[in-house]
Amino acid sequence: LNFLKLAKLKYYNNNLIFLVEKNFLIQSGDPTGTGKGGRSIFGILNEKSIGNGEKEAQNFKRGSQSPKHAPSMKTVGYFEDEIRPDIELNKKGLLCMANTGPNTNTSQFFVTLRGDDLEYLNGKHTIFGEVVEGLETLD
């Protein structure tokens, strides 16, 4: 849902591929092109309805808010992992959510460039798609 809604809003238009690790993955989905940005559709919608959640998150990270007053996932714009244990990172061309830990998904995603030795990523990243045409482009 997140990826499709952001694509429909043209959020990914002109986004750079900011990370390429040969024979491992390519990563995009950050409109700043730095790998440090990006919002989920939920963050975008909630920002419009409750104010600037990003400022709240930054204030919390800097320590200006106590843990008792930490911004919710909804405020920051993260959304929960949707990991299915029956779907594994085991082939080239899988489309997955990039994150910085459990339940920290926003707009960034990666595509696998190989199928072996990726088991350590299972259970950490939601797989939500697969390249079905043009797989040779990933070589």
**Does the pLDDT at position 123 exceed 50?**
yes
Confidence label for 77 from pLDDT (cuts 50, 70 and 90)? confident
Average pLDDT over every residue of 104-120: 96
Q: What is the DSSP string of 89-129?
A: S-STTEEEE--SSTT-B-S-EEEES-SSS-GGGTTTS-EEE
Nearest to 4 by CA among 33, 45, 30, 41: 41
